[in-house]
Amino acid sequence: METAIITGATKGIGKEIAKAFLKRGYTVLGIGRSFHADIEGSFHFIEIDLKDYKALSNKIKEIDKEYEISLLINNAGVGYFDLHEHLSPLEIHEMVSVNLEAPMIMTNMLLRNLKRNKGTIINISSVSGIKDAPRGAAYGAAKAGLIHFSNSLFEEVRKYGVQVINISPDMTMTDFYHYSDFTPAKEEGMYLQAEKIGEITGFIIDNKDHALITDITIRPQYNKIERKPKNS
């Protein structure tokens, strides 16, 4: 049985990706800060705050010794969207830590394991890392860094049989926008469904031996947001 590590695996996109790979017979080590998901199968929750790099490093050392890892999915993300001068230093630090630093640390510590198993690394980025993101400059910068990391790492490890895939979804109907003053518009075609991103991720892995897709962008047909009420 193959083993996958998925960060942010108990809600939103991460939860749907975890379910997709549990259906494919994987053992899933789901990393998150809290467990509040109805996930059935060989799922093991590991509580880690990705901002705490020392705790993260220590836990990944334990995982590396105990498991043979064939799939690492860096999915966890956090976003604060506002004019840049309105962001707090703590919010900027959190976005860089979770969106960029944690994936780099986890990849660094598990890479020998993944090389040994000719494994796959999937980084869930964002369209904000590709296009200009007004009111999301810091978030977009962190995600752009993750995309560049993915592309450069692939050139570094492809000779060992390790695959690196970057997936950049557009606005998805999850609670990701909890801290924002906007949300995806509710009309059909205005947003992505987390379940579909899980299915696409599984499809990429199902077909990776035939044609490796190293970079994929997923967008809804239309583009519209809704402003939240002032008191929400």
Query: 51-55, 67-71, 122-126, 219-223: which range is least confident on average?
Result: 219-223
Q: 76's torsion region: left (phi>0), alpha (psi -120 to 50) or beta?
A: beta
Mean of pLDDT over the chain: 92
Asked whether 181 and 226 are in contact (CB, 8 A), the reply is no
pLDDT at 10: 87
The predicted structure's pLDDT at residue 231? 59
Query: How many residues appear in the chain?
Result: 232
Q: What is the pLDDT averaged over residues 113-121? A: 97
For residue 232, is pLDDT > 60? no
Cβ atoms of 93 and 139 within 8 Å: the answer is no
Q: Which CATH code for domain 3-227? A: 3.40.50.720
Mean pLDDT (whole number) for 182-200: 88
**pLDDT value of residue 224:** 77
Distance, in Å, from the CA atom of 42 to the CA atom of 101, rounded to the nearest integer, reads: 28
pLDDT at 133: 85
Quick: pLDDT tens for 120-162: 999 999 999 999 988 999 999 999 999 999 999 999 999 999 9
**Mean pLDDT of all residues in 61-76:** 96
211: exposed, middle or buried (Cβ count in 10 Å: 0-12, 13-18, 19+): exposed
HEC secondary structure over 95-140: HHHHHHHHHHHHHHHHHHHHHHCCCEEEEECCHHHCCCCCCCHHHH
At 197, the pLDDT band (50, 70, 90 cuts) reads very high
Q: Which of 128, 204, 221 is nearest to 169 (CA)?
A: 128
Say what the pTM is. 0.93
Strands 182-184 and 225-227: antiparallel
Query: Looking at the predicted structure, is the pLDDT value of residue 100 above 80?
Result: yes
Q: What angle do CA 229, 231, 232 make, to 5 degrees?
A: 70
- H or E stretch including 6? strand 3-7
Is there a contact between 138 and 185 (Cβ–Cβ < 8 Å)?
A: no
pLDDT score, position 37: 64
The domain locations on the chain are 3-227
pLDDT at 55: 94
Spatial contact of 172 and 126, defined as CB atoms under 8 Å apart: no
Task: Assign 228 a pLDDT band (cuts: 50, 70, 90).
Answer: confident
Q: How confident is the model at residue 203 (pLDDT cuts 50, 70, 90)?
A: very high
